[in-house]
A and B are shown apart, each in its own frame.
Chain A
Amino acid sequence: MHLARDLEQAFVERDPQALDTVYSLYFALLCAVARSTLGGESDAEDCVHDLMLRIWLSKDSYRLERGALRSYLIVCVRNEALARKRKAARRHALDVHAMRMNVDDSADFAAVDHVELKRLRDALRTLPDAQRAVVELAYFGDRSQSEISSELGLPLGTVKSRVAAGLQKLAAEFTGKSR
């Protein structure tokens, strides 16, 4: 834990050694995160590199009070990959139906049944159905809030409150059981 904090401090101070260390420690994970959304390996690597460079060049991007650098990077990469995916979808004028078909048939959903995901599945099972539905659509289905709202026929406010409550409960699950 102490080492992680030292690394975060060095990253904030833009110590070049910190960037090397971050790459060594997290690159494979960040690429896996990007790949799960973007599909292709080179697209995923591009996404991670572009984002890392942007974060590195923008001095205000990460602050210690934000928490763990690793978590910050994971969410940044995921958001960047999702933005790229949505932009590409708009560019190619895919209709919503086609997107749903693609996502529903994707390996992402199939992967939920993989044995390595037991911990995540167990945690998700603790959520009430209504919360689990929106969290799964967001996390595994890469849906935006408005897509989930129209897909489930729920007001945006309800989607937001269910996601917030669901994520909070998941945090307790992860923290209480194994962290």
Chain B
Amino acid sequence: MSAGDHPLEDLALYALGMLDTDRRDDIDAHVDACSSCASALGAHEATVAAMVDAEFPTPELTSDARRRLAHRRSAMRTPRNIASLRGLAVAAVLALAVGVLGVVDLRQRDALRDDDVFLSAIVTSHFAHAQFRAIGGAHVDAKVVYDRGGRWYEVIARDIDPSYRVAVVTRDGAIARERPERFVARGRTSVLAIETPEAFAGFELRTRDGDVVARTATPSKGGR
């Protein structure tokens, strides 16, 4: 679909949730580049929102839902929370990486704060891990541990330049999207933890200039 072909009827279908994911992605791409369609879609969205308002005039949260919301919102402020418990997470993932650990020690979990979502995620997820394979002459000793459900991943590496970036290879078009997060170095080990719903099919390690130095191989083992 070129920018000149305005998918006017599909905009209404988009707003009503009638399109499949692929077609929605097409529309998203078009709307990003076409102001008139963005505006037309916004008008359709306003109509659907009015229908929703009529259907749910005064939605309220249960107290349980409020508690879960507070919990999750604190988890979305991930950098501070993850950093505060990164030592434990690193220990858990390191142990996993050398094949010592199948399940994170639950005694450690008991000692955690309630909002430690990331380490809890490791404990409660079905996860897998994959080795990075160096490209060209680079020396890379790194591994990614990730949730099979796609909610989080953690890259752990030894003796790498901590300025390296991680890029996510998406499932749809093998597009590598560079993450803004940075490695945290602890001695020879560097760790980068991400909690994200972003679907991923693989990972790349890149230099600050964007050169790819390693990619993940096929996932090897599952965990938990």
Residues in chain B near residue A74, CB distance under 8 A? 45, 48-49, 52
Residues in chain A near residue B9, CB distance under 8 A? 160-161, 163-164
Find residues 17-60 in chain B having any chain A CB closer than 8 Å to their own CB.
Answer: 17-21, 24, 31-32, 35, 38-39, 41-52, 54-57, 59-60
Cβ of A60 and Cβ of B32 under 8 Å apart? yes
Cβ of B50 and Cβ of A174 under 8 Å apart? yes
* A68 with B46, Cβ < 8 A, contacts A45-B65, A117-B55, A160-B13 known: yes
For the residues of B in contact with A, the DSSP-based class is: helix
Contact of A67 among B16, B46, B65 (CB under 8 A): B46
Cβ of A171 and Cβ of B24 under 8 Å apart? no
Of chain B, the residue at the smallest CB distance from A52 is B76
Q: Is A127 an interface residue (CB 8 A)?
A: no
Count, chain B residues at interface, CB 8 A: 51
Give me the interface of B with A, judged by CB distance under 8 Å: 8-21, 24, 31-32, 35, 38-39, 41-52, 54-57, 59-62, 65, 68-69, 72-73, 76-77, 151, 196-198
Cβ of B42 and Cβ of A67 under 8 Å apart? yes
Q: Is A104 an interface residue (CB 8 A)?
A: no
Count, chain A residues at interface, CB 8 A: 61
Of chain A, the residue at the smallest CB distance from B68 is A45
Contact of A72 among B20, B45, B57 (CB under 8 A): B45
Minimum-distance CB pairs A-B, first 9: A67-B42, A120-B54, A71-B49, A50-B197, A32-B59, A71-B45, A174-B50, A164-B12, A160-B9
Find residues 149-179 in chain A having any chain B CB closer than 8 Å to their own CB.
Answer: 160-161, 163-164, 167-168, 170-171, 174, 179
Residues in chain B near residue A36, CB distance under 8 A? 55-56
Report how far A167 CA is from B60 CA in the complex, Å: 28
Cβ of B20 and Cβ of A57 under 8 Å apart? no
